[in-house]
Structure 1
């Protein structure tokens, strides 16, 4: 059976260490060899990005140039409709076949609101959910029924993720990085440095493109 392949969606406006480093730690914990970044076009749950689609892809390319764990899939940028995760996963599942183990990486904040996602009940039929810690968020889901759902699907051994195509939730013990793209944009507007928040190559691109100044 094929090795687990993970997917990580986001606006990436811009990509930063709060995206990259927890995922790198997750990869080390569970034996991931490849993580595909899926930049959103029309994110359903948040305001539209400030940077264009092409600029966000360029920042991703800068960020991962020396990080072979990552690659990029731009299929969601070709859509004019909202970037529903379940639709992307259905397309990927059709391409990869029924037996390819697929994981979708989310943060603890997204896990807490997963029951509000479009067709969220279908996600575990298509992939595993790989959950990274996020600072300041609850560890219990909103209702006893949701918490019971989480416990019923929680994987106890990473090998479960590699030997089943979908169906498990992995709660990763990843480092906490209190970094947000909003904070980076605010720092840029204020002319403050961001060298501790994102890769130098991304900062250099932002400078060249004149992003996040207005």
Structure 2
């Protein structure tokens, strides 16, 4: 069986150490050799990113240039319609075959609201979920039924993630990295330094493009 391949979606407006360091710690925890970053195409009814799709992709490329764990997949940005995670996973599953172990990385905040996602109950047929801690979010699900669903799928055996293609949830013991893109944009708007929050090449690009200054 092929080794576990993980996917990590995000707006990446901009990509920062909260994304990179958390996923690198997760990779060590569950023996990931490759993580594909999937920049989101933001639906029209959601607040639009300050950076364009091309700028967000450029920042991701710069951030991962010296990090061989990561690669980039821009398929969600190439669609003209809103991109749903379940549809992207169906597409990837069709490409990789039924036996390839696939995992989707989310934060604890996303796990708590997963029941609001489009066709959320089909996710476990397509992938494992690797859940990273997020500062300030509860560990328990919002209802007893959802907590039971979590416990049915949860595993404490990392090797199981590599041995079956989908269906398990891993609650990661990743470090709490208190960095958010919202905070970075706010700091930039206020003229504050973000040197310690994101890679130098990304900061140089942001400065060169004049991003997050309004």
TM bin, normalised by shorter chain, reads: over 0.9
Q: How many residues align?
A: 214
Residues 30-75 of structure 1: CA deviation (Å, up to 9, x unaligned): 0000000000012588421110010000000110011000000000
Q: What are the equivalent positions in structure 2 for 1:78-97 lying under 5 Å apart?
A: 78-97=78-97
Partner of 1:159: 159
Counterpart of 1:14 in 2: which secondary structure? coil
Structure 1 stretches of 4+ with a deviation exceeding 4 A read: 43-46
Contact 1:107–1:133 (8 Å) recurs in 2 = yes
Q: What are the equivalent positions in structure 2 for 1:203-214 lying under 5 Å apart?
A: 203-214=203-214
Q: What stretches of structure 1 of length at least 5 have no aligned partner? A: none
Partner of 1:17: 17
Distance, in Å, in 1 between the alignment partners of 2:2 and 2:95 is 14
Q: What are the equivalent positions in structure 2 for 1:49-88 lying under 5 Å apart?
A: 49-88=49-88
TM-score normalised per structure 2: 0.98
Q: What stretches of structure 2 of length at least 5 have no aligned partner? A: none
- 1:206 shift after superposition: 0.3
TM-score normalised per structure 1: 0.98
Contact 1:155–1:169 (8 Å) recurs in 2 = yes
Counterpart of 1:7 in 2: which secondary structure? strand
- 1:203 shift after superposition: 0.2
Two-structure CA RMSD over aligned residues (Å): 1.0
Partner of 1:148: 148
Partner of 2:172: 172
